[in-house]
Homo-oligomer: A and B are copies of this chain.
Amino acid sequence: MTQPLVNHAVVLAERPRGLPNSATWRLEERPIPAVRAGQVLIAVRECSLDPAMRGWLDDRPSYLPPVGIGEVMRAMVVGEVIESQVDGLTIGTWVLGALGVQEYAVARPSGLTIVDPQLGTPTEYLGILGTTGLTAYFGLFEHGRPRAGDTVVVSAAAGGVGSVVGQLARISGTRVVGIAGGSQKCAYLMDELGFDAAIDYRSGDVRRALRKACPAGIDVYFDNVGGEILDDALANLAMGARVVVCGAISQYNVDPDGADPAQRTVSGPGNYLSLLVRRGTMSGFLVFDYADQYATARQRLSGWVKSGAIVARQTVVSGGVQDFPETLLALFSGENVGKLTLRLESG
Protein backbone atom coordinates (compact mmCIF):
# COMPACT_ATOMS: atom_id res chain seq x y z
CA MET A 1 0.00 0.00 0.00
CA THR A 2 1.30 3.42 -0.89
CA GLN A 3 1.90 5.53 2.16
CA PRO A 4 -0.37 8.60 2.21
CA LEU A 5 1.54 11.80 2.01
CA VAL A 6 -0.20 13.93 4.54
CA ASN A 7 -2.09 13.69 7.82
CA HIS A 8 -4.78 16.08 8.99
CA ALA A 9 -5.03 16.59 12.73
CA VAL A 10 -7.00 18.70 15.17
CA VAL A 11 -4.58 20.37 17.59
CA LEU A 12 -5.24 22.44 20.67
CA ALA A 13 -4.58 26.10 19.75
CA GLU A 14 -5.55 27.72 23.03
CA ARG A 15 -7.15 26.67 26.28
CA PRO A 16 -10.86 27.51 26.41
CA ARG A 17 -12.56 29.27 29.29
CA GLY A 18 -16.04 27.87 29.41
CA LEU A 19 -17.17 26.06 26.28
CA PRO A 20 -14.58 25.40 23.56
CA ASN A 21 -14.99 27.70 20.55
CA SER A 22 -13.37 28.34 17.17
CA ALA A 23 -10.23 29.76 18.78
CA THR A 24 -9.71 26.56 20.77
CA TRP A 25 -8.71 24.38 17.84
CA ARG A 26 -6.49 24.49 14.77
CA LEU A 27 -6.53 22.09 11.85
CA GLU A 28 -3.02 21.11 10.86
CA GLU A 29 -1.44 19.23 8.02
CA ARG A 30 1.36 17.11 9.29
CA PRO A 31 3.73 14.73 7.59
CA ILE A 32 3.42 11.12 8.61
CA PRO A 33 6.55 9.84 10.32
CA ALA A 34 8.28 6.79 8.94
CA VAL A 35 7.12 3.50 10.47
CA ARG A 36 10.01 1.99 12.42
CA ALA A 37 10.58 -1.52 13.69
CA GLY A 38 7.99 -2.33 16.37
CA GLN A 39 5.47 0.18 15.04
CA VAL A 40 2.37 0.16 12.87
CA LEU A 41 0.71 2.86 10.81
CA ILE A 42 -3.01 3.16 11.44
CA ALA A 43 -5.63 4.86 9.30
CA VAL A 44 -8.11 6.29 11.80
CA ARG A 45 -11.69 5.42 10.82
CA GLU A 46 -13.74 6.70 13.76
CA CYS A 47 -13.20 8.94 16.82
CA SER A 48 -14.93 8.80 20.16
CA LEU A 49 -16.37 12.04 21.59
CA ASP A 50 -16.56 12.14 25.36
CA PRO A 51 -17.54 14.71 28.00
CA ALA A 52 -14.22 14.00 29.73
CA MET A 53 -12.46 15.66 26.81
CA ARG A 54 -13.36 19.03 28.26
CA GLY A 55 -11.35 18.33 31.39
CA TRP A 56 -8.27 17.37 29.36
CA LEU A 57 -8.12 20.94 27.99
CA ASP A 58 -7.55 22.60 31.37
CA ASP A 59 -4.02 23.15 32.57
CA ARG A 60 -4.32 21.55 35.97
CA PRO A 61 -3.34 18.25 37.52
CA SER A 62 -5.83 15.49 36.86
CA TYR A 63 -5.86 11.76 36.15
CA LEU A 64 -4.12 12.40 32.81
CA PRO A 65 -1.80 15.26 31.88
CA PRO A 66 -3.61 18.07 30.06
CA VAL A 67 -3.41 18.12 26.27
CA GLY A 68 -0.56 20.50 25.46
CA ILE A 69 -0.92 23.59 23.30
CA GLY A 70 -0.04 22.53 19.77
CA GLU A 71 -0.59 18.84 20.53
CA VAL A 72 -3.06 16.62 18.68
CA MET A 73 -6.33 16.44 20.65
CA ARG A 74 -6.47 13.24 22.67
CA ALA A 75 -9.24 10.81 21.66
CA MET A 76 -10.01 7.13 21.65
CA VAL A 77 -10.27 5.95 18.05
CA VAL A 78 -10.63 2.81 16.01
CA GLY A 79 -8.66 2.36 12.83
CA GLU A 80 -7.12 -0.05 10.42
CA VAL A 81 -3.49 -1.08 10.29
CA ILE A 82 -2.20 -0.01 6.85
CA GLU A 83 1.49 -0.61 7.38
CA SER A 84 3.16 -2.88 9.91
CA GLN A 85 6.61 -3.44 11.33
CA VAL A 86 5.20 -5.69 14.08
CA ASP A 87 5.15 -9.46 13.76
CA GLY A 88 1.61 -10.78 14.00
CA LEU A 89 -0.11 -7.41 13.67
CA THR A 90 -1.04 -7.57 10.01
CA ILE A 91 -2.33 -5.02 7.54
CA GLY A 92 -6.13 -4.87 7.64
CA THR A 93 -6.35 -5.50 11.38
CA TRP A 94 -8.73 -3.15 13.24
CA VAL A 95 -7.48 -1.71 16.49
CA LEU A 96 -8.68 0.55 19.29
CA GLY A 97 -6.36 3.10 20.90
CA ALA A 98 -5.89 6.62 22.23
CA LEU A 99 -4.49 7.87 18.95
CA GLY A 100 -6.06 11.33 18.84
CA VAL A 101 -8.18 13.33 16.44
CA GLN A 102 -6.20 12.78 13.26
CA GLU A 103 -6.35 10.73 10.10
CA TYR A 104 -3.22 8.66 10.59
CA ALA A 105 -1.19 7.61 13.57
CA VAL A 106 1.99 5.65 14.12
CA ALA A 107 1.81 3.50 17.24
CA ARG A 108 3.40 0.67 19.15
CA PRO A 109 1.14 -2.31 19.82
CA SER A 110 1.32 -1.99 23.63
CA GLY A 111 -1.35 0.71 23.74
CA LEU A 112 -3.63 -0.94 21.19
CA THR A 113 -6.56 -3.32 21.64
CA ILE A 114 -7.33 -5.56 18.69
CA VAL A 115 -10.97 -5.40 17.66
CA ASP A 116 -12.46 -8.89 17.92
CA PRO A 117 -15.28 -9.06 15.34
CA GLN A 118 -16.80 -11.93 17.33
CA LEU A 119 -17.56 -9.43 20.10
CA GLY A 120 -18.63 -6.41 18.12
CA THR A 121 -18.03 -3.88 15.40
CA PRO A 122 -15.29 -1.24 15.51
CA THR A 123 -18.00 1.33 16.25
CA GLU A 124 -19.08 -0.75 19.25
CA TYR A 125 -15.48 -0.81 20.43
CA LEU A 126 -15.79 2.96 20.86
CA GLY A 127 -19.12 2.60 22.67
CA ILE A 128 -20.52 -0.31 24.60
CA LEU A 129 -17.24 -2.28 24.33
CA GLY A 130 -15.03 0.78 24.85
CA THR A 131 -14.41 3.28 27.59
CA THR A 132 -18.09 4.21 27.61
CA GLY A 133 -19.49 0.74 28.30
CA LEU A 134 -16.62 -0.21 30.57
CA THR A 135 -17.09 2.97 32.62
CA ALA A 136 -20.75 2.09 33.12
CA TYR A 137 -19.88 -1.51 34.00
CA PHE A 138 -17.13 -0.88 36.56
CA GLY A 139 -18.68 2.26 38.01
CA LEU A 140 -21.99 0.57 38.63
CA PHE A 141 -20.78 -2.85 39.71
CA GLU A 142 -17.64 -1.90 41.68
CA HIS A 143 -18.89 1.32 43.26
CA GLY A 144 -22.69 1.31 43.03
CA ARG A 145 -22.86 -2.36 44.08
CA PRO A 146 -26.53 -2.78 43.15
CA ARG A 147 -28.57 -5.47 44.87
CA ALA A 148 -31.79 -6.82 43.39
CA GLY A 149 -34.61 -4.76 44.85
CA ASP A 150 -32.54 -1.58 45.12
CA THR A 151 -33.58 1.68 43.52
CA VAL A 152 -30.89 2.95 41.13
CA VAL A 153 -30.97 6.50 39.76
CA VAL A 154 -28.74 7.64 36.91
CA SER A 155 -28.34 11.13 35.48
CA ALA A 156 -27.59 11.93 31.84
CA ALA A 157 -29.48 8.68 31.45
CA ALA A 158 -29.88 8.90 27.69
CA GLY A 159 -26.17 9.50 27.17
CA GLY A 160 -23.46 7.01 26.32
CA VAL A 161 -22.54 5.96 29.85
CA GLY A 162 -25.91 6.65 31.50
CA SER A 163 -27.93 4.51 29.11
CA VAL A 164 -25.66 1.52 29.77
CA VAL A 165 -25.69 2.08 33.54
CA GLY A 166 -29.50 2.04 33.56
CA GLN A 167 -29.71 -1.14 31.56
CA LEU A 168 -27.05 -2.92 33.63
CA ALA A 169 -29.00 -1.88 36.72
CA ARG A 170 -32.20 -3.22 35.18
CA ILE A 171 -30.69 -6.63 34.43
CA SER A 172 -29.38 -6.64 38.02
CA GLY A 173 -32.95 -6.76 39.28
CA THR A 174 -33.18 -3.17 40.49
CA ARG A 175 -35.79 -0.48 39.98
CA VAL A 176 -34.22 2.02 37.55
CA VAL A 177 -34.96 5.74 37.39
CA GLY A 178 -33.32 7.88 34.73
CA ILE A 179 -32.92 11.66 34.67
CA ALA A 180 -32.67 13.23 31.21
CA GLY A 181 -33.51 16.44 29.39
CA GLY A 182 -36.72 16.50 27.37
CA SER A 183 -39.76 14.32 26.91
CA GLN A 184 -38.31 12.57 23.89
CA LYS A 185 -35.31 11.29 25.83
CA CYS A 186 -37.56 10.26 28.70
CA ALA A 187 -39.80 8.31 26.33
CA TYR A 188 -36.69 6.63 24.92
CA LEU A 189 -35.60 5.55 28.40
CA MET A 190 -38.99 4.05 29.18
CA ASP A 191 -39.95 2.57 25.82
CA GLU A 192 -36.66 1.39 24.38
CA LEU A 193 -34.36 0.88 27.36
CA GLY A 194 -36.88 -0.49 29.86
CA PHE A 195 -36.35 2.03 32.66
CA ASP A 196 -39.00 1.98 35.40
CA ALA A 197 -39.30 5.76 35.57
CA ALA A 198 -37.85 8.78 33.80
CA ILE A 199 -37.56 12.34 35.07
CA ASP A 200 -37.31 15.27 32.67
CA TYR A 201 -35.10 17.78 34.44
CA ARG A 202 -36.27 20.52 32.11
CA SER A 203 -39.89 20.26 33.19
CA GLY A 204 -39.99 20.87 36.90
CA ASP A 205 -38.68 20.09 40.34
CA VAL A 206 -36.25 17.16 40.14
CA ARG A 207 -36.08 16.79 43.91
CA ARG A 208 -39.82 16.31 44.22
CA ALA A 209 -39.93 14.05 41.18
CA LEU A 210 -37.22 11.86 42.72
CA ARG A 211 -39.14 11.65 45.98
CA LYS A 212 -42.16 10.44 44.06
CA ALA A 213 -40.25 8.03 41.82
CA CYS A 214 -38.19 6.61 44.71
CA PRO A 215 -40.57 6.26 47.66
CA ALA A 216 -38.07 4.10 49.57
CA GLY A 217 -35.17 6.42 48.73
CA ILE A 218 -32.24 6.05 46.36
CA ASP A 219 -29.89 3.14 47.05
CA VAL A 220 -27.49 3.89 44.21
CA TYR A 221 -27.07 7.25 42.52
CA PHE A 222 -24.79 7.22 39.49
CA ASP A 223 -23.89 10.83 38.76
CA ASN A 224 -22.78 12.11 35.38
CA VAL A 225 -23.85 15.71 35.80
CA GLY A 226 -23.07 17.27 39.20
CA GLY A 227 -24.64 20.61 40.13
CA GLU A 228 -28.21 20.88 41.34
CA ILE A 229 -29.23 17.42 40.24
CA LEU A 230 -26.56 15.88 42.44
CA ASP A 231 -27.97 17.85 45.36
CA ASP A 232 -31.49 16.70 44.49
CA ALA A 233 -30.33 13.09 44.59
CA LEU A 234 -28.46 13.59 47.88
CA ALA A 235 -31.70 14.90 49.36
CA ASN A 236 -33.37 11.57 48.60
CA LEU A 237 -30.87 8.93 49.71
CA ALA A 238 -31.89 5.66 51.33
CA MET A 239 -29.90 4.35 54.29
CA GLY A 240 -26.48 3.08 53.23
CA ALA A 241 -26.74 4.67 49.78
CA ARG A 242 -23.84 4.61 47.34
CA VAL A 243 -23.25 7.75 45.27
CA VAL A 244 -20.96 7.08 42.31
CA VAL A 245 -19.17 10.15 40.96
CA CYS A 246 -18.56 9.42 37.30
CA GLY A 247 -18.71 12.92 35.87
CA ALA A 248 -20.09 16.42 36.27
CA ILE A 249 -20.96 17.67 32.82
CA SER A 250 -22.90 20.62 34.26
CA GLN A 251 -19.66 21.87 35.80
CA TYR A 252 -17.12 21.20 33.06
CA ASN A 253 -17.48 24.51 31.31
CA VAL A 254 -17.10 26.72 34.35
CA ASP A 255 -15.72 30.07 33.23
CA PRO A 256 -13.89 32.13 35.88
CA ASP A 257 -14.54 35.27 33.79
CA GLY A 258 -18.12 34.43 32.84
CA ALA A 259 -21.12 36.72 33.15
CA ASP A 260 -23.02 34.44 35.53
CA PRO A 261 -21.38 34.38 39.00
CA ALA A 262 -22.95 30.99 39.70
CA GLN A 263 -21.02 29.53 36.75
CA ARG A 264 -17.61 30.90 37.72
CA THR A 265 -16.57 28.07 40.03
CA VAL A 266 -17.50 24.42 40.40
CA SER A 267 -20.59 24.16 42.54
CA GLY A 268 -20.15 21.58 45.28
CA PRO A 269 -23.01 19.51 46.65
CA GLY A 270 -24.47 21.53 49.54
CA ASN A 271 -26.45 18.47 50.61
CA TYR A 272 -23.37 16.32 51.20
CA LEU A 273 -24.22 16.00 54.90
CA SER A 274 -27.00 13.62 53.99
CA LEU A 275 -24.13 11.13 53.55
CA LEU A 276 -23.90 11.34 57.33
CA VAL A 277 -27.61 11.20 58.06
CA ARG A 278 -28.07 8.28 55.64
CA ARG A 279 -24.73 6.62 56.32
CA GLY A 280 -23.95 6.98 52.64
CA THR A 281 -20.79 6.76 50.58
CA MET A 282 -19.74 8.93 47.67
CA SER A 283 -16.91 7.51 45.63
CA GLY A 284 -15.05 8.44 42.52
CA PHE A 285 -13.41 6.04 40.14
CA LEU A 286 -11.62 5.85 36.82
CA VAL A 287 -12.19 3.02 34.44
CA PHE A 288 -8.46 2.63 33.69
CA ASP A 289 -7.96 1.11 37.13
CA TYR A 290 -9.91 -1.95 36.00
CA ALA A 291 -7.92 -2.63 32.81
CA ASP A 292 -7.05 -6.12 34.00
CA GLN A 293 -10.77 -6.96 33.96
CA TYR A 294 -11.67 -5.40 30.61
CA ALA A 295 -11.67 -8.71 28.75
CA THR A 296 -14.30 -10.25 31.02
CA ALA A 297 -16.41 -7.11 30.95
CA ARG A 298 -16.28 -6.93 27.14
CA GLN A 299 -17.37 -10.56 26.86
CA ARG A 300 -20.37 -9.94 29.08
CA LEU A 301 -21.35 -6.63 27.51
CA SER A 302 -21.10 -8.18 24.04
CA GLY A 303 -23.31 -11.06 25.16
CA TRP A 304 -25.97 -8.70 26.50
CA VAL A 305 -25.97 -6.68 23.29
CA LYS A 306 -26.34 -9.84 21.21
CA SER A 307 -29.17 -11.17 23.37
CA GLY A 308 -30.96 -7.83 23.21
CA ALA A 309 -30.71 -7.30 26.98
CA ILE A 310 -28.82 -4.09 26.31
CA VAL A 311 -29.59 -1.62 23.55
CA ALA A 312 -26.36 0.18 22.71
CA ARG A 313 -27.45 3.12 20.66
CA GLN A 314 -24.73 5.09 18.94
CA THR A 315 -25.00 8.43 17.18
CA VAL A 316 -22.45 8.35 14.36
CA VAL A 317 -21.64 11.65 12.65
CA SER A 318 -19.94 11.28 9.26
CA GLY A 319 -17.36 13.79 8.21
CA GLY A 320 -13.71 14.68 8.56
CA VAL A 321 -11.46 15.59 11.47
CA GLN A 322 -12.42 19.22 10.76
CA ASP A 323 -15.91 18.38 12.04
CA PHE A 324 -14.63 17.41 15.47
CA PRO A 325 -15.03 20.85 17.16
CA GLU A 326 -18.68 21.24 16.26
CA THR A 327 -19.55 17.61 16.94
CA LEU A 328 -18.03 17.82 20.42
CA LEU A 329 -20.39 20.66 21.37
CA ALA A 330 -23.39 18.36 20.91
CA LEU A 331 -22.32 16.65 24.16
CA PHE A 332 -22.68 19.87 26.14
CA SER A 333 -25.86 21.20 24.55
CA GLY A 334 -27.77 18.14 25.73
CA GLU A 335 -28.98 17.20 22.26
CA ASN A 336 -27.10 13.92 21.91
CA VAL A 337 -28.60 10.50 22.58
CA GLY A 338 -26.43 7.44 23.17
CA LYS A 339 -22.75 7.21 22.41
CA LEU A 340 -21.42 9.89 20.04
CA THR A 341 -18.68 9.18 17.48
CA LEU A 342 -17.26 10.88 14.40
CA ARG A 343 -16.68 8.60 11.40
CA LEU A 344 -13.96 9.82 9.08
CA GLU A 345 -15.12 9.43 5.51
CA SER A 346 -11.81 10.62 4.22
CA GLY A 347 -9.87 8.11 6.31
- Chain A residues with CB under 8 Å of chain B are 61-63, 226, 231, 245-248, 251, 265-286, 289
Chain B residues within 8 Å of A267, by CB: 268, 270
Cα separation A59 to B165 with both chains bound (whole Å) = 36
Q: Which residues of B lie under 8 Å from residue A62 when comparing CB positions?
A: 277
CB distance from A336 to the nearest CB of B (A): 21
Instruction: Across the A-B interface, give the 4 residue pairs with the lowest CB-CB distance, nearest first.
Output: A268-B268, A276-B284, A275-B284, A268-B270
The answer to whether B273 touches A272 (Cβ under 8 A) is: no
Tell which of B248, B268, B278, B281 touches A281, judged by Cβ atoms closer than 8 Å.
Answer: B281
In the complex, the answer to whether A276 meets B231 with C-beta atoms within 8 Å is: no
- Counting every copy of the chain, the complex holds 2
Structural contact, A272 and B272, CB atoms closer than 8 A = yes
A-side interface mostly: loop
Q: Is the CB of A284 within 8 A of B289?
A: no
Instruction: Identify A270's interface contact among B63, B266, B284, CB under 8 A.
Output: B266
Q: What residue of chain B has the Cβ atom nearest to residue A237's Cβ?
A: B284
Q: Which residue of B lies closest to A282 (CB)?
A: B282
On chain B, the residues within 8 Å of A268 by CB distance are 231, 267-272
Residues of B within 8 A of A280 (CB): 283-284
Q: A266-B270, A277-B286 are in contact. List 13 more A-B contacts (CB 8 A).
A: A61-B277, A62-B277, A245-B273, A247-B276, A251-B273, A267-B270, A268-B268, A276-B285, A278-B284, A279-B283, A279-B286, A279-B289, A282-B283
A238 to nearest B CB, angstroms? 13
- Tell me the complex Cα distance, A246–B62, Å: 27
A275 to B265, CA, bound (A): 17
B272 and A283: CB pair below 8 A? no
List of B residues within 8 angstroms of A248 by Cβ = 273
> In whole angstroms, what is the CA distance A279 to B287 when docked?
10
* Complex Cα spacing A283 to B242, Å: 9
Q: Which residues of B contact A273 (CB under 8 A)?
A: 226, 245, 248, 251, 266, 284
Do A272 and B269 touch across chains, with their CB atoms under 8 A apart?
yes
* Chain B residues within 8 Å of A63, by CB: 276-277
Structural contact, B286 and A276, CB atoms closer than 8 A: yes
- Measured CB to CB, the closest approach of chain B to A13, in angstroms, equals 25
A53 CA / B268 CA spacing, docked (Å): 25
